[in-house]
Amino acid sequence: MPWRRRRNRVSALEGGREEEAPPEAAAVPPALLTSPQQTEAAAERILLRGIFEIGRDSCDVVLSERALRWRPIQPERPAGDSKYDLLCKEEFIELKDIFSVKLKRRCSVKQQRSGTLLGITLFICLKKEQNKLKNSTLDLINLSEDHCDIWFRQFKKILAGFPNRPKSLKILLNPQSHKKEATQVYYEKVEPLLKLAGIKTDVTIMEYEGHALSLLKECELQGFDGGHRKPLFVIHWSVQRLFTGMQTLEPSVVCVGGDGSASEVAHALLLRAQKNAGMETDRILTPVRAQLPLGLIPAGSTNVLAHSLHGVPHVITATLHIIMGHVQLVDVCTFSTAGKLLRFGFSAMFGFGGRTLALAEKYRWMSPNQRRDFAVVKALAKLKAEDCEISFLPFNSSDDVQERRAQGSPKSDCNDQWQMIQGQFLNVSIMAIPCLCSVAPRGLAPNTRLNNGSMALIIARNTSRPEFIKHLKRYASVKNQFNFPFVETYTVEEVKVHPRNNTGGYNPEEEEDETASENCFPWNVDGDLMEVASEVHIRLHPRLISLYGGSMEEMIPK
């Protein structure tokens, strides 16, 4: 039976303040709520039971410890009546899918802050197709103030008991992301949902590259809550404006922007964690985990990080994952040269991928898509291989090795067997995440997961331009992009890339070299350009940062 919504002007009120439900919120489809597990429901402890109108039916509603269940109240009919059994089929929603509750009132033009009580509105997170989430509503209609107040307080108590759901968020917003649409995305799509969920927010506009790093670098992280240590920001005078007004416990950080912004914030949080642990940030072998979880709102041109995390670059889905407190640990890489840390990151490309980004950075005045396409075409026109020596440590999945490394033991020791390959390479990719994006829906590294303790090393040796283009086009299809004789793939834990010429790829016979500075080689690290003159050492560190997102076993398309 489809839900029908009343056509009169209705708003949801809580604490005397009017809060209207988002217009895009859809009613909960009953087909999604039907439960076949009656025996399990019977075993749950009942908290409340009452009568509400749901849709156009009067229903017997039961609130238990795990679910809200209801069944239409029908007059007695002969046993065995199949039509009667169908009409009386029990439906339910799990309490973990509810993210807000409001008192529902009918307001007239003269009644701005109060009105006739209609009942209770539940705001629910539901799964859609293609890994998407959506926010929906369920109205429980009952005109009794006392009856609704009891239920309302019980729902509020239940919602307060979910430990992973954030109470306050520090929003770092990059207004320049993807045609400067990030600000509109946040204020029109993200903020209304956060307000609906009762989450306090404080927004800082990222004004320049490296702004997030400078803001988060000097923050003191201390915590207390009646004797229980929890993260709480205490602000230095130099960055006092960063968390102004953030006085609630357990703040989390959310980045609204593209891959570059998200990677910068993740790097800043991890760097801050090392400083708090008293570690020398220039030389890190076994970094400590970031204290605060990070949320990613996709508002860039590619959104590889958010796409890999959620399975889809969808703003509402990303926001609901944050609201619901869906947190998972993700592997992170460290990039270093000559023993000095360059940065934290999730993926990198050297050769064609680095040169393409270096070209694109010189044409920032173009739109993101035009800049990307132009850089790809120009890099293909000047396609050239790099003479490299690549050393790597193959992934060892044995339990004793993984346990030793999970306890913080350095990965490189005498018992590990390094392998080395050398030659002319068109592109080298090192990826700790699947790297899903619009041009590679299966992922640039489809066999990698977010936290399986390994990286994908993908090498394209020197070949003809037409063959390399065929390889690139395969990423957008269902065919195996690695099924070429010049492509090699490895599952690794560490990689060292050592260019054997020291000219930064510069050819004096060419009229111009737009892809690298003199004596430096361009790297694409999470969409950011990193120029390095010598060997780069990439180490994987399992489960180093907490990100808000869904389970990859469910989200990654097969």
Q: What is the pLDDT of residue 366?
A: 82
Q: What is the pLDDT of residue 79?
A: 61
Q: What is the pLDDT of residue 287?
A: 92
* Domain locations along the chain: 44-72+88-158, 166-218+249-329, 338-402+416-500+518-542
Give the chain's mean pLDDT: 80
Class of domain 166-218+249-329: alpha beta
Class of domain 338-402+416-500+518-542: mainly beta
Q: Is 524 helix (H, G, I), strand (E, B) or coil?
A: strand
CATH number of 44-72+88-158: 2.30.29.30
Q: What is the pLDDT of residue 14?
A: 41
Q: What is the pLDDT of residue 503?
A: 53
410-433 pLDDT per residue, tens:
545 445 699 999 999 999 999 999
- Residue 237, pLDDT above cutoff 50: no
Rounded distance between C-alpha atoms, residue 433 and residue 452, angstroms = 9
Question: Which has the higher per-residue pLDDT, 67 or 177?
Answer: 67
**Residue (of 347, 354, 257, 339) closest to 306 by Cα position:** 257
Please list, in sequence order, all residues whose beta carbon lies within 8 angstroms of the beta carbon of residue 296, skipping any fewer than 6 positions away.
Answer: 254, 255, 262, 305, 306, 309, 318, 547, 548, 549
The region, left, alpha or beta by phi > 0 then psi within -120 to 50, assigned to residue 107 is beta
Rounded distance between C-alpha atoms, residue 187 and residue 251, angstroms = 20
Question: Number of helices and strands (H, E) in the chain?
Answer: 15, 26
Half-sphere exposure (Cβ direction) of 405: Cα atoms closer than 13 Å: 26
Cα 551 to the center of its chain, rounded Å: 11
Task: Report yes or no: 115 and 13 within 8 Å, Cβ to Cβ.
Answer: yes
**Mean per-residue pLDDT, 95-109:** 88
Q: How confident is the model at residue 400 (pLDDT cuts 50, 70, 90)?
A: low
Q: What is the pLDDT of residue 225?
A: 28
- Residue 130, pLDDT above cutoff 50: yes
Cα Rg of the chain, angstroms: 27
Question: Sign of dihedral through CA atoms 529, 532, 538, 544?
Answer: negative
DSSP 435: -
- Residue 367, pLDDT above cutoff 70: yes
Cα 264 to the center of its chain, rounded Å: 14
Six-digit token pair at 244? 């102004």
